[in-house]
Structures are given as C-alpha cells and as structure tokens.
Amino acid sequence: METVETTATRTFLTPEEYLAKERKALTKSEYRNGQIYAMPGASHEHNVIMGNTFAELHIQLRDRTCIVYPSDMRVKVSSTGRYTYPDVVVVCEVPRFEDSHFDTLLNPTVLIEVLSPSTAAYDRGEKFASYQKLDSLCEYVLISQDSVHVEHYLRQGQAWDLTAFRSLDDVFSLVSIGCELSLQAIYAKVQFS
C-alpha cells in the first residue's frame, strides 16, 4: 500500500490509542514513533500486481500449513513499535498475534511490498531496516509497479542477499516457504505506459 509520510497527525499516540482508533477507522494508517500515517488508495497497477502475487502464493500454499494474507493484515515490529500493512504477508509458523483481536501479526516469514514512486525510498530504506528486526522474517520482496523490476532479499545469517529480476521470463524462488514466483504471473494484465 502507498503511504504518504507528510500526513502524520500532530498528536503523539500510544500504540494502544493507535490500535483503538485504527480498529474503528474506515481507512488504514501505519504507525511509527507515536505518529499515524494515512495510507491513500492504491493505483490500478498496484492492485493488479498485489492480487496476482497473493493469488500465486495462495494456490501454491493451499495444501500446506503456511498462510498467505492480503494487505489488510497488520504487522507489528515489536522491537521498534512500528505497525505496517505489507501488501502480501506469509507466515509458516503458527501465527502469533499481538492480542485477542487476531489482526496484528508478530511473526511473518515473507513480506512483499508493491512499490510506487511515493513509497519506494521508504520501503527500501526505513521500513526495510525495521523489518530486519523481525527474527521470523526470512525474505523481503519489492515489486515495482512502474516497470518490470523485482528485488528479492534473502536473509543469510545477519546479512540480506539481494537478487534483482528485470525480465518477464524470470522466475525466482521464495526458499523459506518453498514457492516460486514468475514475473509473467506477477505482472499479468499490467500495461506499462
């Protein structure tokens, strides 16, 4: 989902206040450092790419214990107190949630973000730095909505190895969950200007 960092509210909120407000809200907002950041609607291309990616993983994981969630599953990075809404989330352990609302996941295995011009730097930088603090996270995928370009980060101990894909003929493995994604499938029905 797209976030706009300039829309922070001016009032500091505790995580509890954020969750109470967020659970009643009609639109989604991320939370970091006591501030709420509104998430505006996504583009046509963003939604198609997110849907394609979710569908591909859902089919591959259908008969396994892993669960794939679309963009409404909130993720908390406990060590930073950050709450986000990744575009696609996969968990392969028993899902752990923050509380009895079961709407804030604590242990994702794979996180996938669809990039837009307004979010690319944040998703590659500050957000990824925060996600790296999740002990459960094994892979992070960034998918461009403006061109055929996928960045796949794989955790190797304390390091993250990056492999980039730029051809519709490319296929990459999500090794932590035993899945493969083809760029042809990810970008199906997407037309670039």
CATH number, domain at 86? 3.90.1570.10
pLDDT at 190: 97
Which tokens sit at 117?
């011009």
Domain that holds residue 156: 42-186
Domains: count for the chain: 1
pLDDT at 4: 42
State which H helix or E strand residue 58 sits in.
helix 44-61
Q: 128 lies in a domain?
A: yes
Please write the tens of the pLDDT for every residue from 108-156.
999 999 998 888 999 999 999 999 999 999 999 999 999 999 999 999 9
Q: 11 lies in a domain?
A: no
Provide the β-strand partners of residue 171: 182
Q: 107 lies in a domain?
A: yes
CA–CA gap between residue 17 and residue 167 (Å, rounded): 45
Q: 10 lies in a domain?
A: no
Q: Is 76 helix (H, G, I), strand (E, B) or coil?
A: strand
Q: With bands split at pLDDT 50, 70 and 90, how would you rate the model's confidence at 33?
A: confident
Q: 156 lies in a domain?
A: yes
First to last CA, the chain: 21
Amino acid at 58: H
Which tokens sit at 6?
């300039």
Q: 73 lies in a domain?
A: yes
| Full-model pTM | 0.90
Bridging pattern class, strands 88-91 and 67-69: antiparallel
Of 68, 56, 96, the closest CA to residue 185 belongs to 56
Q: With bands split at pLDDT 50, 70 and 90, how would you rate the model's confidence at 9?
A: very low
Please enumerate in sequence order all residues whose Cβ is within 8 A of that of 139, keeping only pairs 6 or more positions apart, or say none: 109, 110, 111, 152, 153, 154, 155, 174, 175, 176, 177
Q: 3 lies in a domain?
A: no
Please write the tens of the pLDDT for every residue from 155-190.
999 999 999 999 999 999 999 999 999 999 999 999
Q: 8 lies in a domain?
A: no
Cβ–Cβ under 8 Å, residues 68 and 61 = yes
